[in-house]
Amino acid sequence: MEDVARPILVALVLVGAIPLVAGCYQFLLAGLYALRMRTPREPFYPRVAIVIPAWNEAAVVERTLDRLLALEYPADCVRIYVVDDASTDETPRKVLAKAAEHPGRIFHLRRERGGEGKAHTINHGLRIIRAEGWYEAILVIDADVIFTPPSLRRMTRHLSDERVGAVTGYIKEGSRPGNWMNRFVSFEYVTAQAAARRAQNVLGAQACLAGGAQLLRRESLEAVGGEIDTSTLAEDTVTTLGVQLAGKKVVFEPHAIVWAEEPREITGLWKQRLRWGRGNVQVTRRFRHIWLRRGRAGSLGGIGFALIWFSVFLMPVFMLTSSASLVALWFIDDGESLEVFRTLWFLNVVTYLFVTLSSFSIDPETAKRTWREGLLFPGAISLGIILYALYPPLFEDTIAGWLRDAGIEPDDGLATGFLLFAYVWLSASMLAAWLVKLLDSALPKRLRGLCAPLLYVVGYGPLLCAITAAAYVKEARGAEMRWDKTEKTGAVGELT
């Protein structure tokens, strides 16, 4: 029985390397971006209707409108529609005042009965805009984002290629002054956008138009039904996949910079990402007919795209499987379990160094602000395990010295306990991150910064995995689908 179980357990442990392989694969593809992609040089200025869904956005909407009016784009080719979802604050007054200052450029579309969510609000605006028939492209954005002056023209130039149906920009975290959480998000966006979406450009299959910067050709919008999906919490992903399945390309433009304000504490991030995570569960199920079916879905059905998608979507499963299999293998053959453990964590070392250093090189400006968060993305404990896997005597001798200094003589029991902790931590880190979130939720808002040191120890990466696991549970329970609005304060800096 043991002879049968041993190779199965080894294989299950090494399943944990799938996300590592996918991470390296993405960054290798991103490195090919400059060689494989050709950006149109000539400007292209289609008539663009900008749609801004807004519910109680008084703190941010005026500046967003001012920055849109300052875009390096022909004024007669842009119309801005603020779709007011029955706001109860000063949003209507501020938008109407701007519309009066800029007649024919800014329009206030009011929904008297709101509360149905972002997608329904966007669709209210789309129905009116489509009836007017003026537009050649639609740009859907969030009410708080700040478009840099050249961003729109850098996106629209791709539409000069008839094969392109949609374009997205590079959303960057722009809170100023930013705190520790904002810096973690900033680094994450380098990996999840600047790198991952470059890689997807090379593959010819984009996973998602950034919610704050979705540029759609008119024909592509009509091809997906003329409206945004309202049946999931990932309407932007449904649109992205729909455009590509209709035969058009979706392109990421890395030089179209759009600044956004992101959550400043764990509780806010959890609420935002739980919505995203549930949306991904719904999309994965809804588009189950495309996975690994290249003949039916083109590049979306390729092995490369599936590797990227499922390495993120199934990350908690991979982590739990590896940890449980390592512990089970230890009971059968502790020596072999140690060898497999070192192999897995050696792959962790390679991936960690390659991804982190590559991220810093892709966006050096962000790296200057977030290098600590980049280095501690997996958490201090995981970094310690990485060092242990690389050179066990370093830790064994050091820890043994600390214990003797404390009057404790190390023995085999302590060594075994430490090793089993290292085995379990791969999955236990998600539980630890969840506990930090619970503490953050229990503390008064002014004290939530006390959780920062704990997250640096546990890791931002494990926190994201814990949120994905929570999304599985929420969706399995059939919890109410609510579009919880992320609190915005207008903290995005005046950036260029």
Q: What are the chain's domains? A: 2-18+310-400+409-476 (no CATH), 37-264 (3.90.550.10)
Rounded mean pLDDT, 207-224: 95
- The pLDDT value recorded for residue 117 is 86
pTM listed for this prediction: 0.93
- The pLDDT value recorded for residue 484 is 61
- In terms of pLDDT, which residue wins out, 6 or 302? 302
- The pLDDT value recorded for residue 35 is 76
- Burial class for 401, CB neighbours closer than 10 Å (0-12, 13-18, 19+): exposed
- The pLDDT value recorded for residue 482 is 65
Rounded to whole angstroms, what are the CA distances from 194 to 25, 63, 84, 312?
15, 25, 31, 16
Rounded mean pLDDT, 456-466: 97
- Burial class for 112, CB neighbours closer than 10 Å (0-12, 13-18, 19+): exposed
DSSP class of residue 291 equals T
Among candidate residues 220, 71, 248, the one with its CA nearest the CA of residue 154 = 71
Q: Which of 142-156, 263-277, 349-363, 473-487 has the lowest mean pLDDT?
A: 473-487
User: What DSSP line would sit under 152-179, residue for residue?
Assistant: HHHHHGGGGSTTEEEEEEEEEE-BSS--
- Alpha-carbon gap, residue 325 to 482, rounded angstroms: 37
**Cα dihedral 50→53→56→61 (10° resolution):** -20
488 has pLDDT over 70? no
Q: Which of 137-151, 269-283, 383-397, 411-425 has the lowest mean pLDDT?
A: 383-397
pLDDT tens column, 378-419: 999 999 888 887 777 766 677 777 767 777 777 667 778 888
Question: Residue written as tokens 């903290």?
Answer: 491
How confident is the prediction for the chain on average, in pLDDT? 91
**Cα dihedral 136→141→147→151 (10° resolution):** -40
DSSP class of residue 148 equals -
461 has pLDDT over 70? yes
Residue 462: is the preceding peptide bond cis (ω within 30°)?
A: no
Q: Are 114 and 85 in contact (CB under 8 A)?
A: yes
Q: Give the count of beta carbons closer than 10 Å to the beta carbon of residue 235.
A: 26
pLDDT tens column, 21-58: 999 999 999 998 877 778 888 899 999 999 999 999 99
Give the model's confidence band at 490: pLDDT under 50 very low, under 70 low, under 90 confident, else very high.
Answer: low
Q: What percent of the chain has pLDDT over 90?
A: 79
DSSP class of residue 362 equals H
- The pLDDT value recorded for residue 1 is 61
- Burial class for 413, CB neighbours closer than 10 Å (0-12, 13-18, 19+): exposed
143 has pLDDT over 80? yes
Rounded to whole angstroms, what are the CA distances from 112 to 73, 87, 132, 435?
33, 9, 21, 41
Interhelix angle 91-101/61-69, nearest 10 degrees: 20
**What is the pairing mode between strands 48-54 and 106-110?**
unpaired
480 has pLDDT over 80? no
- The pLDDT value recorded for residue 493 is 63
6 has pLDDT over 50? yes
Q: Give the count of beta carbons closer than 10 Å to the beta carbon of residue 133.
A: 7
Q: Give the count of beta carbons closer than 10 Å to the beta carbon of residue 13.
A: 25
- The pLDDT value recorded for residue 496 is 44
The CB-side HSE value for 415 (13 A sphere, CA atoms) comes to 13
- Alpha-carbon gap, residue 68 to 272, rounded angstroms: 25
Alpha carbon of residue 80 to chain centroid: 27
377 has pLDDT over 50? yes
